[in-house]
Amino acid sequence: MAINTTNSNYVNISNLPQTQEVLNGDLLIVQTENGTQTIDFENLNVVKTDAAGNATVSGNLTGGNVFLNEVTISTLKGNNFEVNGKEGYTAVKGFYNYFTVDSGLVTSAVQTSPSPEYTSLITYMNALTTWQNTIYKRIVDFNGNATITAGSTFTNVNIPNFYVSYPEVGDTDLKMWHVYLVTNFGATTLVGSMSSMPWASADDSSINTTLTKDGSNLKFRINAGYVAPQNVTFFYRILYTY
C-alpha cells in the first residue's frame, strides 16, 4: 500500500476478499446527499435473497405483472380470475346443469333443456323398475268371510272379477294352501266339538287342491270336515305372491 502526496490510502476493491452472502449487521457504503455513509443490510429497502435465491417480503408487494411457476397461498383474493385466457364465470341466481371447468375454475354455466341428467335418470329408472319387477314379486292379499250353515259340511265362495284385479295370476296358480281359514263363532257356543281342520278346495270337489277359475271369477269350497251342528262363519285370507 503506497502513500501519496495527499496522505490518502489507495486500496483496489478487486484485491479485497469476497463474501458469499450479505447478512443483517453487514455494512454497505452509500453516497447520499449528506456525503458518504454506511447502511446496515437489515435496513436496506430492497428485496433480499439468500444464497439459494429465496426471497422474503414482510410487507406488501405491489407490481404490474408477476410471472411465477408455482404459487402457494393461504388466502387468495382478487377482483377477476382467469385461466388459459378464459375468465371465471359470475353466475346470477338461477338453475344451471352444464358447467365448463378449466383447471379448477368454472368458466361457463348454462341451463340446458331438456336436461340431459334428467333424461339419463329417467332412462336408468325405467330400466331399474323393469329389473326390480323381475326380482320383487307382486302379492295377492284378499280377505272375506263365508258361513257353513247348520247341517252342511261345506260352503262355496265366489269372488267376482278376481282375475280382473290380478290378471297375471294363472288359471291354476291358486291352491288350497294359499287360503288361510279362521273360525268365528261370535257369541254362539259351539255345539259339540270340531272333528277336523277346515280346508279349501275346488268349488265342485273336496279333494281337488286347485281353486276354480270361472271366467274372471275365483271360486272355491270351504270344507268343515264334519256336519256343522249350527251355522259356522269362517274368515278367509288368500295370500299369494307372483
Cα 12 from Cα 15, distance rounded (Å): 6
For the chain, first and last CA: distance in Å? 116
Residue 79 to residues 7, 74, 228, Cα–Cα distance (Å): 64, 17, 94
pLDDT beyond 90 at 146: yes
Looking at residue 115, its pLDDT comes to: 81
Give the pLDDT confidence score for residue 240 in this predicted structure: 93
For the stretch 2-55, pLDDT in tens is 555 666 677 788 888 888 888 899 988 899 999 999 999 888 877 778 888 888
Query: What is the pTM (predicted TM-score) of this model?
Result: 0.45
Report d(CA 50, CA 158) in Å as an integer: 101
Contact 240, 173 (CB under 8 A): yes
Residue 127 pLDDT greater than 80, yes or no: yes
- Cell of residue 132, nine digits: 326390480
219, 126 Cβ separation under 8 angstroms: no
pLDDT tens for 185-208 read: 554 555 555 567 899 999 999 999
Instruction: For the chain, give the percent of residues with pLDDT over 70.
Output: 90
| Average pLDDT, integer, range 169-181 | 95
Residues 219 and 165: their CA atoms lie apart, in Å, by 15
Say yes or no to pLDDT of 147 above 60. Answer: yes
Average pLDDT, the chain: 85
Task: Kindly state the cell numbers that stand for 86.
Answer: 378464459
Residue 103, pLDDT above cutoff 70: yes
Write out pLDDT tens, residues 77-89. 878 888 888 888 8
Q: What is the residue whose three cell numbers read 270344507?
A: 223
Q: Which of 57-66, 139-148, 151-160 has the lowest mean pLDDT?
A: 57-66
Using DSSP's 3-state secondary structure scheme, residue 106 falls into strand
